[in-house]
Structure 1
Amino acid sequence: MCPSRSSSRLATLVVFAVFLLAGVAQAQTITGSITGTVVDSSGAIVPGSKVTVTNEATGAERTLITTENGVFIFTNLVPTTYSVKIEQPGFRPVTRTALTLTSGDRLALGSIQLEVGQTSEAISVTSEVAALNTESADVTATLGTSQISDLVVKGRDFMNLVKLLPGVAQQGGGDVAGGTFGVQSPSVGGIRAVYNNLTLDGARGNDPGGPAFFSTGVAVDALSEIKIVTSAYLAESGPNPGASIKLTTRSGTKDFHGNVYLFKRDKNFNANDFFVNRQGLGAFPYRLTTTGAAVGGPIYIPNKFNADRSKLFFFWNSEITQSFLPAGVTFNAPASVLQYQVPTLLERQGDFSQSLDTNGQLIVIKDPTTGRPFLDNKIPANRINSNGQKLLSVFPLPNTTDRSLTGGLYNYQFKNIQDTPKGSHTLKFDIVPNLKDTISVRLKKWESDTKSWTGI
């Protein structure tokens, strides 16, 4: 029995490992690294220096000693803002602050120079511009937390922010966040959108049925970073040959932060469209309301659990969108005006004496039993099926009869209105068990519906 149990346990472990590795294979890394070299004022390397990197959001620290070549490398760092402090006896401590590390970035600080002096005399340098990437040849563009918060976002759809970045075509995105079945990504660098790589916190977000679509709805206020890697990217990006659009959700910090927001768009704020006026229609119903709230911070009990607020953090965001918007595309009319040809009152009575084609010629109605035209182009009352006549009454009567406007193509038009209620809910926990590891758990719910009203 023992061999059987051992085999069963081994099989269970193998199956578990296969599923675990399958999940890993679909994901991309979002962590980055910070590297640099410590030298003195003459440019000579300074080995054995103590280097401390600090997460400015959570206060978490990691420390190492430079190699004999004066080099330090911090790996597996989550995307955020860091400070780096270098200490060496006989030299003034140097601190570099406000170092922004983006998703998958390799941040090279270059040579950091120490000056001879007392350890109590510290030098602090604050980074004001992005560091030049000398660690890889990939071409990237990034929107950080401040830019995401400060920029106006059409429809509160993050994909409209992506279109602001260099090399991105003006397609994709929408008036309502998340689209109908997901939001379409744009073409980047001339490569079709179906070849894009879309990820959220490293997990693949391409819709299986439509790779150009991002099917994982997420609110703009739940994002800390949007990054595009357009070309010459490393092997860790992929598997598609197009651009990589990487989204990173926000995390809690050692201090509590939160916000409540409301965005409103209404037809009363808009002028009516020229072509809608030309069609003789009034302004479309247009109401788009987005409300939400976000809060993040440490989870702790004073003097009992996580007292230094460095081990456990949370972030929560909920966003509700209520919309009542026009939709649809038709011939010779603005979007959301639908046009059809419906039976006139005379035609419902069998009288086709005034029924004209698009060339203004009479449409001749023939007797199906003889093949000859009806007298005066009118169907006799005793030849009309009463049930069919009642069925015709279901259709509305024409409301547009100006042939100079319609060209004889339609006589009935109406506004196609869609109600697309949506909800996005994100809850994220970050656990820092030690100085080298961070465990993130994200729970997310996305709700979307579409209701349409038509005139027929």
Structure 2
Amino acid sequence: MLRPIPSIERGGPMRILSSRVAASVGAVACALSLATPAAAQTGSGRLSGLVEDATGALVPGASVVAVHEPTGVRHDTVTTASGQFVFPSLPVGPYTVSGTLSGFKTRTVTGNQLTVGADLSIILVLEPGNVQETVTVAAEAPLVQTTESSVSTLVSEKAIVTLPLNGRNPLHLIGLVPGVAGHSSEATSSSGTATHYVNGDRGRGITTTQDGIDISDPVIPRGELTNAPVNPEALQEFRVITSNAKAEYGRSAGGQVELVTKSGTNEVRGTIYEFLRNTAFDSNSYFNELQGIPKEVLRRNQFGLSLGGPIRRDKAFFFVNYEGQRRTQETSNVVIVPTDALRRGQFRFVTAPCSGQTAAQNRPGCVDAQGNPLVPVSSYDLAANDPRGIGLDRVIQNETLKFLPLPNDFSVGTASTPRAIAGTRPPTRPWTR
């Protein structure tokens, strides 16, 4: 809706802008005047309802005020000729809604909990009396959503804070929503990733927005994988729409995830936290024990703080959050490495079938646990038979192969290049969000 901009008169000299600057200012002003709020794009909710008298008749022209209880920010509107009022885009949180009209008592309903992406509808009943008299009642949460047909689930701040999160990614909680199936084994793996399937989609059809901004991964929008890290300490709540999404949503055929971040309030609140994982608290895995490999080194510290409060009470607020991560991790990898003979340029191959075979083929069963051949073999010395007489590459021999361990498992691979199990340790990397 377009609204006229009131003129402002100020004393003092006036400066004339150049035509280029004036045109730029005019374009910006035009863009701002044409911008209208969209509830689905701002991480907000919609509050609407009716004002009636004691007989059930609709009351037009009544003043309706919605006050955000944590911040004291006030929003005003007037009922239409049919007694309706609407606040199309409000920040989430509890609201106190009041209705007043001359000749009626003021009706106040407290604790109206508005959540992200929700359409909260209330009815204010005005009783005859003095406008200075106030009737205050506590709101009751509706049991059934009657204003729209979409199917959704709200993940509250309490669930985000209290439920365990591997890697502290709150979007893993999408897997708890009815209609969503996910790989829980992936969510508990070392990578801490998961794929979610909403009502049978292929696992990459989820659109995720944060405060109305699309943060979905542009390649694989699978919900928990986003362009921007999502910090649970900075997240107030989020809603997962699994079916019958309204026309204002788009892009993906699967679910819609709406995140809303925290804001400062009239009270100063903050948290300081650290989450620790260390090798000293872990046991070795079954497969490492089977191969005689010690447990991998893992030292991970996730720490941070958040703080919010008022800049000017009931007017302006601040909220800041910092999270850092320090991690040193060692993982066991199965790789193919050359034997000592192969490093010297000696290729060997079987000349007779191995056990259970009808033809001579290099197979793990052709050698014993120490790599000794169980069938006749032949070899070829590459260095000795080099027609140019150059021999083996010295850089490869002296600089590259020294980083590869010798094989320690001959149960898989070939007779010339058996398998090795080696450990690698990436450098410690700081990570901040």
Shorter chain as denominator, the TM-score bin is 0.7 to 0.9
Matches within 5 A, 1:147-158: 147-158=159-170
SS in 2 for 1:233: coil
Tell me how far 1:121 sits from its aligned partner. Answer: 5.8
**Contact 2:363–2:413 under 8 Å retained in 1:** no
CA 315–269 in structure 1, closer or farther in 2 if over 3 Å, else same: same
Larger deviation, residues 233-242 vs 345-354: 345-354
Matched residue, 1:422 = 431
CA 146–157 in structure 1, closer or farther in 2 if over 3 Å, else same: same
Mapped partners of 1:18, 1:39: distance in 2: 38
CA 16–299 in structure 1, closer or farther in 2 if over 3 Å, else same: closer
2:416 paired with 1:412: no
**Contact 2:182–2:195 under 8 Å retained in 1:** no
Larger deviation, residues 389-398 vs 217-226: 389-398
Matched residue, 1:344 = 339
Mapped partners of 2:78, 2:26: distance in 1: 38
SS in 1 for 2:198: coil
Mapped partners of 1:28, 1:184: distance in 2: 26
Mapped partners of 1:194, 1:375: distance in 2: 51
Matched residue, 1:223 = 235
Tell me how far 1:258 sits from its aligned partner. Answer: 0.9
Mapped partners of 2:382, 2:59: distance in 1: 106
Which of 315, 321, 324 does residue 317 from structure 1 map onto?
321
Tell me how far 1:92 sits from its aligned partner. Answer: 5.2
Which of 29, 48, 58 does residue 35 from structure 1 map onto?
48
CA 11–86 in structure 1, closer or farther in 2 if over 3 Å, else same: closer
Mapped partners of 1:262, 1:204: distance in 2: 29
**Contact 2:336–2:413 under 8 Å retained in 1:** no
- TM-score by length of structure 2 reads 0.74
Which of 362, 370, 379 does residue 357 from structure 1 map onto?
362
CA offsets, 1:6-54, max 9 Å, x none? 69965885599789999x99x9243332112233444333444442211
Matched residue, 1:447 = none
Residue type matched to 2:432 in 1? G
CA offsets, 1:364-410, max 9 Å, x none? xxxxxxxxxx996363985476544773452434241453x778674
CA 354–170 in structure 1, closer or farther in 2 if over 3 Å, else same: same
2:406 paired with 1:398: yes
CA offsets, 1:410-435, max 9 Å, x none? 432113444553211xxxxxxxxxxx
- TM-score by length of structure 1 reads 0.71
CA 287–191 in structure 1, closer or farther in 2 if over 3 Å, else same: same
Aligned residues: 385
Residue type matched to 1:360 in 2? G
**Contact 2:207–2:214 under 8 Å retained in 1:** yes
2:110 paired with 1:101: no
Which of 180, 194, 199 does residue 204 from structure 2 map onto?
194
2:268 paired with 1:273: no
SS in 1 for 2:172: helix
Residue type matched to 2:431 in 1? K
Matches within 5 A, 1:204-243: 204-212=214-222, 213-243=225-255
Matched residue, 2:138 = 125
Residue type matched to 1:270 in 2? D
Matched residue, 2:57 = 44
Mapped partners of 1:62, 1:286: distance in 2: 52
- Percent identity, please: 28
Matched residue, 2:178 = 166
Residue type matched to 1:338 in 2? N
**Contact 1:261–1:293 under 8 Å retained in 2:** yes
Mapped partners of 1:233, 1:316: distance in 2: 32
Mapped partners of 1:245, 1:377: distance in 2: 62
Matched residue, 2:381 = 379
SS in 1 for 2:280: helix
- Unaligned runs of 5+ residues in structure 2 are 1-17, 351-360, 368-375
CA 138–375 in structure 1, closer or farther in 2 if over 3 Å, else same: closer
CA offsets, 1:146-165, max 9 Å, x none? 33222222211122122222
Tell me how far 1:352 sits from its aligned partner. Answer: 5.8
Tell me how far 1:315 sits from its aligned partner. Answer: 0.8
RMSD of equivalent CA atoms: 4.0
CA 390–296 in structure 1, closer or farther in 2 if over 3 Å, else same: closer
Which of 61, 67, 75 does residue 54 from structure 1 map onto?
67
CA 6–245 in structure 1, closer or farther in 2 if over 3 Å, else same: same
Matched residue, 1:437 = none
Residue type matched to 2:112 in 1? L
Larger deviation, residues 132-141 vs 187-196: 187-196
Mapped partners of 2:51, 2:326: distance in 1: 55
SS in 2 for 1:377: strand
- Unaligned runs of 5+ residues in structure 1 are 301-308, 327-335, 363-373, 425-456
